[in-house]
Structure 1
């Protein structure tokens, strides 16, 4: 908060980070090239803003401790030292953090350790103990009295959709309440009891509707309730959002200033709330604005780099461990080409899943367009550069109709032009790119004709040489995110779980290669896309 020449006028400055996803170092782990991301670069921005605004708040809005090889290495292979992300957040004097859905990915023990190590509160009013109904992570809000006696209250909320994705063992004993209904309880309570001059809600969730028109932009599942928070909960001055990896600045909904700073630490959102008072009277808000601050070209903070050095050294050693060799071609040159027809890379990952699960049908995705594929000499770096999430596997029992419905949903990933070119359906690009929601299958034979209308594109579907019967049952292995219905694959929700394989898929892939030494790229061309 910076005070200008008028003693009765003050500007509150809040910096929001969100969805940093374990990015601490400003590098791309696939090749160690410099990358304008991460907490080391954000640290420079945070320190600058703190110096310019003596009474300053920095809040992280969730998904901080998962997402990079460094975060994975600490969680799975070297968990005894302090969590590196928390160590840096403490150094930078974070005022608070909101729990994100990915905070649970490595299990409750890992999360609880991070919370214990934090010198700041973790907030989520709608994540409660299922027995007592009380917030499970302590006080779900913070109140600070700043320069001039300005009181700021901040309530933390998280998307309640977590049980649809997360390993049940990681969230045992927790209940996830509707964010809007929870805010309706807590915001007036804080207004009445704490009497803040500024009421901020920090919500690890995004927007389910167009910010200007209010029209739905996605199924109204309750995953993203940002618009409803603005419209249905009186008393919110500022809504900080995340989860969708969007960049939002300078927007107001129903009088509520909203912001979202993207992901990976590429930007921070700066919120400025100007207040005035008359001769020592109560403060009143006279203006609100938000903008994004990019880390592009910003030098990483040297103190943070020194703090991270030993974690990074161990991570790099692990990443360079040789796993084995590949005979054949598993390199990705064109991600769209991978999704338009069977490829050795996708076939390989599906075969690893099928062996681990003991099933004959599997699906997986090419998770990101920058997935490099697997080169002839394989290291751990190559594996985690392709399988970038800490997913585990589940075998669920589905019907042939479920299978067809899932393939139709995947087929909607594409749209075609009159000249025959193929592009990604905008619904898979907004509010963020979702390549991880297009699945490719092994163990069945199918053809997708994307010249046909959405919902009518599966033109061939068979198993073991016979047409898939819509009323028959099939056991399919897939990652835990998809098995829970993630990515709007609602046909999988509530299906019987035949087997749960709790090992991370990246570990299964590494073990598969280590046991064999040499992997032979295969291609059975069991599926294709016609366009």
Structure 2
């Protein structure tokens, strides 16, 4: 326990004198007198991550407020934490500038000028940050845009040499380098110094400077995911290699603490320099006192990481290093409480009195009640009001209409209405554009692969649901959630089957003889990697078989697909370049890399069609193999949507239990 914060008056006077002397020494470039061993201080390291430009608690796809997300509510938690802890540092872990309609508006529809600060950074500057790093989605809009909006001149092809208006805090990134000169495109590290309050062993309060070094990392696979925008312009190293390269430089500045800001999660598979989630290995590099994590859109500490080797998923330690990952979309604040004690003339972390924690903006909802969420900070909305209204007007641009409900509520169970327009638009584009550069491929059948991006991961409102009626750009953005570009790959029947086998890992293996309920969905396989392929193809998924052996009855226009049968598959740049680790998809099979965004291609296709009816959308191309089970096969979904399933032809789905928080348990009848 620390001594009381209200020390005697005489001690305060001495403390003030000491602080003045320390400040004077620092100003003169002299080292202050050493603090006595046994001095203590509590420091809270606060983290935001994966905000994805969700500044306000607002759903641009449904055009309504959403109190369960939004940076404006995270700010409320930040201010609360600052009142609780007099000594705080605030850092951002990346995936900040992309991911919402507002972000696309400022990047694509009406790009901000050099003299304009991006809305998310304007909001963050109102709170005051001490530093941050870049996530993988920072690169989605290209290096020119990234250079501009971060205020970072970059010596790269397409980068800006001049400094534009960017965030008023340092961004560090150590593992991405210019292909021109081999230098990091951001500063790899920096040192932030703040005055903190500490207590001497006799209980006296004193203010002293604390030097915190920060070093940043992004996922190495950005070269695959944004290959078209980055290839030949930058190189990337592994996070461990970058840490070993730059930590000695940082340590030469004699920081009191080193905080690693990694846009990545935890993975204990054997390390490679291409590892997407290298946090477990980064924690093993000597010299790191605290680790900030992100990218995985989950919480650490938390049950998702229970049982991982050398990880304390309750107190928030990774290989002995205090760590935190604060959720996504502004739903949470990450916090590491570091208890510092002075030993041998330096600050060290008292790990027994330190921990990481995730503070949510909403408490779990009681049955039948709305979520209990903190109020938004009133300072944020006025800062972005103008661009918020402009983004709403932008997404309300009409493009057509539909008589079909386009929904992803049961995309995992066979309702492809939300995917059929994407697949139709992608295939149409490839059929028109591919012969211009590859006339020899003009006669090869074109298929299309798409995954439902919104399948409930973010809660009961995280689904696509476009009602019959007018269609706007908002609906196109809802159907195609990410700003991917379109790509097409050349493959064969064996490759298509391997693609579908990988997708089918979305499901658990079902034992027909088991009487207890069995979960349909594999929680470790994300929904956006469940590709569903259309274009005259039909296939069956047999859930009784092990992963990798589930695709049966694979046909093209009613005839069995042969292993050597050639196909072109329209997809997105993420998948074509290796995203999701699909067999044969590593960038080498790409025959068309379009500069056009998949979302824009979809919007143009809808605009050309004008009216979407059942005849414009290909029916579902797959089904589960008939299966009689002793016990129920169950899955979680949005409550009260059984009629949606029935209307889509999924008559074997029934709701079992309404959880009272907007979600429900359903059963699916797989019997013949």
Aligned to 1:482: 575
Q: Which has the larger radius of gyration?
A: 2
When residues 343 and 271 of structure 1 are mapped into structure 2, their CA distance, relative to the original with a 3 A threshold, is closer
- Count of residues paired in the alignment: 513
Aligned runs of 1:144-293 on 2, under 5 Å? 144-147=193-196, 148-170=208-230, 172-191=232-251, 193-209=252-268, 216=269, 222-231=275-284, 233-249=285-301, 250-277=315-342, 281-287=345-351, 288-293=354-359
Separation (CA, whole Å) in 1 of partners of 2:102 and 2:270? 34
- Would you say the 8 A contact 2:93–2:135 is kept in 1? yes
The answer to which of 27-36 and 393-402 deviates more is 27-36
- Would you say the 8 A contact 1:131–1:173 is kept in 2? yes
Aligned runs of 1:36-55 on 2, under 5 Å? 36-55=68-87
Aligned runs of 1:382-461 on 2, under 5 Å? 382-415=475-508, 416-418=510-512, 423-428=520-525, 434-443=526-535, 444-461=537-554
Q: Pick from 181, 195, 220: which aligns with 1:132?
A: 181
- Would you say the 8 A contact 1:28–1:35 is kept in 2? no
- Would you say the 8 A contact 1:393–1:478 is kept in 2? yes
User: Unaligned stretches of 5+ in structure 1?
Assistant: 210-215, 429-433
- Would you say the 8 A contact 1:3–1:11 is kept in 2? no
When residues 194 and 317 of structure 1 are mapped into structure 2, their CA distance, relative to the original with a 3 A threshold, is same
Q: Pick from 597, 614, 624: which aligns with 1:529?
A: 624
- Would you say the 8 A contact 1:62–1:97 is kept in 2? yes
When residues 386 and 219 of structure 1 are mapped into structure 2, their CA distance, relative to the original with a 3 A threshold, is farther
Question: RMSD in angstroms over aligned alpha carbons?
Answer: 2.4
Aligned runs of 1:275-354 on 2, under 5 Å? 275-277=340-342, 281-287=345-351, 288-296=354-362, 297-332=373-408, 334-335=409-410, 338-341=411-414, 343-354=416-427
- Would you say the 8 A contact 2:488–2:569 is kept in 1? yes
How far off is 1:454 after superposition?
Answer: 1.7
> What are the Cα deviations for residues 188-230 of structure 1, in whole angstroms up to 9, with x where unaligned?
3322x11122121111111113xxxxxx499995111111112
- Would you say the 8 A contact 2:228–2:593 is kept in 1? no
Q: Secondary structure at 1:128's aligned position in 2?
A: strand
Separation (CA, whole Å) in 2 of partners of 1:505 and 1:473? 24
How far off is 1:407 after superposition?
Answer: 0.8
When residues 13 and 524 of structure 1 are mapped into structure 2, their CA distance, relative to the original with a 3 A threshold, is closer
When residues 323 and 4 of structure 1 are mapped into structure 2, their CA distance, relative to the original with a 3 A threshold, is farther
How far off is 1:271 after superposition?
Answer: 1.2
Separation (CA, whole Å) in 2 of partners of 1:242 and 1:479? 24
When residues 76 and 203 of structure 1 are mapped into structure 2, their CA distance, relative to the original with a 3 A threshold, is same
Q: Secondary structure at 1:228's aligned position in 2?
A: helix
How far off is 1:133 after superposition?
Answer: 2.0
The answer to which of 300-309 and 141-150 deviates more is 141-150
Q: Which has the higher contact order (CA 8 A, sep 6+)?
A: 1
Is 1:508 the counterpart of 2:595? The answer is no
Q: Pick from 550, 558, 561: which aligns with 1:468?
A: 561
When residues 331 and 222 of structure 1 are mapped into structure 2, their CA distance, relative to the original with a 3 A threshold, is closer
Separation (CA, whole Å) in 1 of partners of 2:390 and 2:230? 26
- Would you say the 8 A contact 2:188–2:215 is kept in 1? no
Q: Pick from 83, 98, 123: which aligns with 1:66?
A: 98
- Would you say the 8 A contact 2:511–2:544 is kept in 1? no
- Would you say the 8 A contact 1:3–1:9 is kept in 2? no
How far off is 1:138 after superposition?
Answer: 2.8
User: Unaligned stretches of 5+ in structure 2?
Assistant: 8-14, 16-38, 152-165, 197-207, 302-314, 363-372, 432-444, 456-461, 628-672
Separation (CA, whole Å) in 2 of partners of 1:98 and 1:417? 46
When residues 399 and 316 of structure 1 are mapped into structure 2, their CA distance, relative to the original with a 3 A threshold, is same
Is 1:18 the counterpart of 2:49? The answer is yes
When residues 53 and 525 of structure 1 are mapped into structure 2, their CA distance, relative to the original with a 3 A threshold, is closer
Runs of 4+ in structure 1 deviating by more than 6 angstroms, as ranges, are 217-220
- Would you say the 8 A contact 2:534–2:618 is kept in 1? no
Separation (CA, whole Å) in 2 of partners of 1:400 and 1:226? 38
Separation (CA, whole Å) in 2 of partners of 1:43 and 1:71? 19
When residues 107 and 3 of structure 1 are mapped into structure 2, their CA distance, relative to the original with a 3 A threshold, is farther
- Would you say the 8 A contact 1:395–1:500 is kept in 2? yes
Q: Secondary structure at 1:144's aligned position in 2?
A: strand
How far off is 1:319 after superposition?
Answer: 2.2
The answer to which of 377-386 and 221-230 deviates more is 377-386
